[in-house]
Structure 1
Amino acid sequence: MKPLNHHGLKEMPQLRYMCSHQSIHEERIGRFGRIFQDHPAMMLNPSSLIEMGKKGGPMDGGTSDDLTQNVPLGMVYLGQFIDHDITLDTTSSFNTANEATEIENFRTPALDLDCIFGEGPEDEPFLYESNSLRLLTGKTNNNIGQGVSLESEDLARNGQGKAIIGDPRNDENRIISQLQLAFIRFYNAIYTNIESHNPTAEAKHIYEEARKLTTWHYQWIVIYEFLPTMCGEVIVDKVLGRGRQYYKPYERAFIPVEFSIGTYRFGHSMITQKVKLKKGGSTFDLFSNNIGGGFSKITTLNQVIDWECFFDFDGSYQRAAKLDMKLASTLLELPFVQPVSHLSSLATRNLLRGQSFFMPSGEVIAECMGREASEIADVRSHILNTINGHDIDFDAGSPLWAYVLAEAADIGRHDKDGFKLGEGMGPVGGTITAEVIIGLMELDANSFMGSDRNWQPTLGTGGKFTIKDLLTISKNGI
């Protein structure tokens, strides 16, 4: 029998979702999912979302950066690196209704550095040296046409200049590209050290131990340095001490859209309009060829990162922009999105994407998390004041992403010595982000949190290990 396609009888794919949300109760391997499964989606007029995110609109922070007091700019790019380690969505669209459990995540939902190691030396041997299981760099690859001094500071590249790495996105700007190289060198330094102490060991065994140590030290940085910086010390301690209250997968870890489409996009507000790569060097626009051209080889030593400019080595690091409802103006007209349209704005893209995934409002999620009504009202007032004078109707509620940015500006990051406005996420954004990232590690039997909760770093000093330590050790890697 043919299906009934007459008006009023044709199946509406989203009707099942809107009525029962039944599909999202079934967590599926390799797919996205939801935390707040039983709450209705908010619908806003798309014209309001476009107006909200447009260049010259209420989210346009202009060309002068309003900086944080103590958040290293490098932490924002480390956040991007972490994102590339756990999520890759190539199938969702702004112009379709997206069910989270139908969207495939092409990254493992674990902080396992598959963006560095790929599928391992057996499945992706082209990432590794031919005479050992060190990862290739520009130097050991002998990059074609680059020269010794430049290839020594670059990723391995093929004859067309494309990076030979586990995730091509980690070559999309100079900072993330150099961070990818630092992690590769960090692993290589560990591999060399193990090899020197075990000269008769098989390369496979050295690889396995070196990969574990590399990954566990990275996870330590994420929990004890990155999360406190971005989510606040109090929130991280609460999640570690009392457990996860909201991110509770039935069986396996998954990436919730409240995190990937909502809270974890906080870093877009903290990107600065201008960036300096070298101590005492020139300052460049974010999308200049020196920084944001992307997917290209290093052509001058001036493009090599001095990490002292991005992380706290001696106090001279660049600060991230404040976390609030403003974005650097250049992000609202992305030069690589052509022709220019409303989708050229990163803010508009975030807002439309959130709506396409049937997200509840930020206020509803805050209520679900037990936030006080007065607090929610204050955050909402901040949003309404921001959009005042613009043709934007948020009477139905606020997009989760906008709510997270507003509470960061209105409440701030909760540290042990108080709240810091604009220095990190507030209670909703910080809690969701911390619970998901910590949960991904707790649910991973190969992480130190899933296999040895008493483990401490073997590198660094006194049981402490920081991104500064990692970057310092990476200089010893080939």
Structure 2
Amino acid sequence: MSDSDHHGMHSFEGKNVLCSHHSFEKESFGRFGRMFRDLPPLYNTPSALSGLGKIKGPMDGGNTPKFTDSVPLGMVFFGQFIDHDITFDTTTSFSSINNPNEIENSRSANLDLDSVFGGGPEDDPFLYQRREEGFYLLTALSNNNMDQNKATEKHDLQRNGKGTAVIGDPRNDENRVISQMQLALVRFYNANYKMLKDANSGYSPEHLYEEARKITTWHYQWVVVNEFLPIMCGKYLVADILGNGRKFYEPLYSAFIPVEFSVAAFRFGHTMIAQDLKLQLDGVTKSIFSTEFGKGFTRITSSDQAIEWDAFFDFGTDFQKAEKLDTTLAPILLELPFVTSGKADDKSLATRNFRRGQSFLLPSGENVARYMHREEDEIEQVVDFVHNKISTHDIDLSAGIPLWYYILAEAEVVGRQDSGSQFSSGEGLGPVGGRIVAEVLIGLLELDRDSFLGNNRDWVPTHGKEGVFTMKDLMEKADEAYDL
């Protein structure tokens, strides 16, 4: 398994190529571009970026985690799942700036679960049962995985003889939480397919597939808009965007993925993962890179590796909380154990993020905040916080603060906006980071004619209760398809 198989380790040729200063006059659907086209790129010295991201540096969170009061840990992994649903490009290094040639994003840039469905039963038949059986997505149970017993099959994806997951996006097997989240979406679709098949005996398998896929996808999109974004960005900000429109994500021609989103703002989850966690509520705490939890890309061999979703989402019981959204990461993420390079910069996820942002010509956080009309007092508060934090580490950020770091500092200092005047520091993204994330995800839906926001704004979920549908409801419905 190579270093680049893990989340956050992928290179992104599409972003490098399409985001040079000659490439953002016109967007191409599903590709990469810029949200703030008029802002100059920031340059920090490599030594400053290394100093920020090193072990024992200002981003080292130490061995005593600080947890949020309100954010379910599972929502951080759901953010990772969303990221895999809309972007995938793995062909270039972040250590250089490339020519502005068009490179295709392997994901559609729509929140359409192509990471689950692939190209559908006609293009990717290996993901589905045969037509005469109905176009159910295959799981370990229905695939009869080689060398896997029934007790572990029910928690696993379908795999080939070498144990490789046969799924629409290989990254969704990189740790136990994300692989079993993929499995839950597979089963949620299967439950919807069976529900439609039982109620409509005259429907063809093709018709059932299209309807079940739409039902599954729209419920997933509903969770993104009505649960994930309010938790991570603030319900006040989300309501403002839905009511008053997007102000900064305004594609000239068609939907695209801004690098300010993908390379900076949507990497907030790296700060919210604790070094150790539990897969079950009553289970033993394990390292995120332990065999039980995090090495990934292998079949499940023990019930200890099975996820209990009430440990990750709000089922009305005591669930695990995410770490604070702030300027620190778990120490293990600053010295990644699976990276074979002997260079400290290569082992630090934080430094890799900074290097990536610099190679994609991102503007400084201060310039983005001013462009977004944030109050100067607020910007100065964030800047002063950053400079105080780095003052004893001999790090020079006088040219500006990297956008990712500014967004993390803003979350720690200002926090998530829960009402017109109430902010919760460390509980979610601040005004700059939250608006970038929320505007892009909402915008992708509004610009997609097949999404519920782009197709039928009167739609309400058919699952859940009284128009309320959450990850808890999705996981419980997925459980009904265990035997398919």
- Give the TM-score normalised by the residue count of structure 1: 0.94
Question: What secondary structure, in the 3-state scheme, does the structure 1 residue paired with 2:329 have?
Answer: coil
CA distance in 1, matches of 2:279, 2:111: 27
Matched residue, 1:10 = none
Matched residue, 2:119 = 119
- The reply to whether residue 70 of structure 1 matches residue 70 of structure 2 is yes
Amino acid aligned to 2:274: T
CA distance in 2, matches of 1:46, 1:39: 21
Matched residue, 2:11 = none
Query: Any conservation in 2 of the 1:64–1:273 contact (CA below 8 Å)?
Result: no
Task: Write the deviation string for residues 94-115 of structure 1: whole angstroms up to 9, x where unpaired.
Answer: 2111567745321111000000
Amino acid aligned to 1:46: P
CA distance in 2, matches of 1:123, 1:361: 43
Matched residue, 2:475 = 471
Matched residue, 2:109 = 109
Query: Any conservation in 2 of the 1:185–1:475 contact (CA below 8 Å)?
Result: yes
Query: Any conservation in 2 of the 1:41–1:360 contact (CA below 8 Å)?
Result: yes
Query: Any conservation in 2 of the 1:31–1:101 contact (CA below 8 Å)?
Result: no
Correspondent of 1:289 among 291, 294, 306: 291
Query: Any conservation in 1 of the 2:19–2:34 contact (CA below 8 Å)?
Result: no
- The reply to whether residue 386 of structure 1 matches residue 389 of structure 2 is yes
Task: Write the deviation string for residues 219-238 of structure 1: whole angstroms up to 9, x where unpaired.
Answer: 00000000000000111011
What are the residue-to-residue correspondences of 1:38-187 with 2, within 5 Å? 38-98=38-98, 102-130=102-130, 131-187=133-189
Task: Write the deviation string for residues 43-65 of structure 1: whole angstroms up to 9, x where unpaired.
Answer: 11011101110111110101221
1:404 deviates by 0.3
Question: What secondary structure, in the 3-state scheme, does the structure 2 residue paired with 1:81 have?
Answer: helix
Greater radius of gyration (CA): 1
Matched residue, 2:367 = 364
Query: Any conservation in 2 of the 1:276–1:283 contact (CA below 8 Å)?
Result: yes
Query: Any conservation in 1 of the 2:26–2:253 contact (CA below 8 Å)?
Result: no
Matched residue, 2:261 = 259
CA distance in 1, matches of 2:100, 2:271: 25
CA distance in 2, matches of 1:299, 1:161: 11
1:28 deviates by 2.2
Q: In angstroms, what is the RMSD of aligned CA positions?
A: 1.5
From the superposition, tell whether residues 100 and 305 of structure 1 become closer, same or farther in structure 2 (CA, over 3 Å): farther
- Unmatched 5+ stretches in structure 2: 1-15
Task: Write the deviation string for residues 119-161 of structure 1: whole angstroms up to 9, x where unpaired.
Answer: 1110000000122200000000000000112112110000000
1:22 deviates by 4.0
Query: Any conservation in 1 of the 2:118–2:124 contact (CA below 8 Å)?
Result: yes
1:388 deviates by 1.5
- The reply to whether residue 376 of structure 1 matches residue 379 of structure 2 is yes
Correspondent of 2:447 among 443, 448, 455: 443
CA distance in 2, matches of 1:101, 1:75: 35
Of residues 425-434 and 88-97 in structure 1, the stretch that sits farther from structure 2 once superposed is 88-97
CA distance in 2, matches of 1:23, 1:152: 47
- Give the TM-score normalised by the residue count of structure 2: 0.93
Correspondent of 2:229 among 227, 230, 251: 227
Matched residue, 2:332 = 330
CA distance in 1, matches of 2:117, 2:250: 28
Query: Any conservation in 2 of the 1:98–1:356 contact (CA below 8 Å)?
Result: no
Query: Any conservation in 1 of the 2:41–2:362 contact (CA below 8 Å)?
Result: yes
Matched residue, 1:430 = 434
Query: Any conservation in 1 of the 2:19–2:100 contact (CA below 8 Å)?
Result: no
Matched residue, 1:239 = 241
